[in-house]
Structure 1
Amino acid sequence: MVTVNGEDVVLDENSTVATMLTTLGLPDKGIAVAIDWAVLPRSEWDRVLPDGAKVEVVTAVQGG
């Protein structure tokens, strides 16, 4: 189980950041992902999420 934006989520074993986004119906563009308070570059979204990880998915907002 991981926590995504403050909500506990059960994922398949060996789920990656990319598969988590797809499973949860989240976009894969215009967002930033942090695991345990460290921003994860898109090039590392194939990393397996450790059990108990705290994940934050933040959507970029444009404005002025």
Structure 2
Amino acid sequence: MSSVARVTTITVRSETSFEDAVATGVARAAQTLRNVSGAWVKEQKVEVADGKITAWSVTLEVSFVLDD
């Protein structure tokens, strides 16, 4: 049996960590998209103020399998 997947790009910001940004993004994608099968962290960024990291941001490529 074969399947077809689609990829969508989302950007997520967290004031906690990269891990939190990824988990939040995957959870949010799964609320809207059916059959989420994986995610690839395409880009990571941090926001800095006064020499300290204030936020973490990730761009995710989220894969989901299309319904037959």
- TM-score scaled by length of structure 2: 0.39
Name the one with the larger helix percent.
Answer: 2
Bigger fraction of residues in strand: 2
Which TM-score applies when normalising by structure 1?
A: 0.41
Q: Which has the larger radius of gyration?
A: 2
